[in-house]
Amino acid sequence: MGLIKEFKEFSVKGNAVDLAVGVIIGAAFGKIVSSIVNDIIMPPLGLLIGGVDFKGLKFVMKYPVFDSTGKVISEAVTLNYGNFIQTTFDFMIIAFCIFMLVKAINTFKKKEEKPPEVKEEVIILKEIRDALNKK
């Protein structure tokens, strides 16, 4: 019974719950960002670059072997560098989108966090204090 009690204490701690919420929100946010990349950014970008699909680029290291009926005996061995290029490109777009989102959030935070205005009396008192310290 000690193991169950220990697991219960671990699973209901604030840190574990916060982590679970962060993972769930992160997964949902990942879907949103993937949709932005795949459904909004990539179609016009693909149109601009002439519909190039990097995923199809590969270097064949060993061609497939077929028998007399056309059945594949051994699969081709390929170096799929195009998939790597596409994944890297997707990462760059996603990273840029996240950067822009964080930048927008920080801009809104800065507008909310205006420093309080210093009253004129406080400024005068500081000047008097500084003048007295000089003497």
Q: Give the pLDDT means over successive 10-residue stretches in the chain (135 positions).
A: 80 75 85 81 78 80 90 90 84 82 83 74 87 86
Give the dihedral of Cα atoms 126, 127, 132, 134; nearest 10 deg.
110
Nearest to 74, CA basis, from 83, 84, 64:
64
Given this model, what pLDDT does residue 54 score? 75
Given this model, what pLDDT does residue 106 score? 85
- pTM (whole model) above 0.85: no
Of the residues 51, 66, 92, which one is the last residue of a structural domain?
Answer: 51
Given this model, what pLDDT does residue 120 score? 86
Domain that holds residue 81: 53-135
Determine the Cα–Cα distance for residues 129 and 92; give it in Å rounded to an integer.
54
Q: How many domains in the chain? A: 2
Tell me, yes or no, whether 63 and 34 share the same domain: no
Tell me, yes or no, whether 91 and 103 share the same domain: yes
Q: How many CA atoms lie within 13 A of 112 on its CB side?
A: 6
Strand partners of residue 60: 78
Tell me, yes or no, whether 44 and 65 share the same domain: no
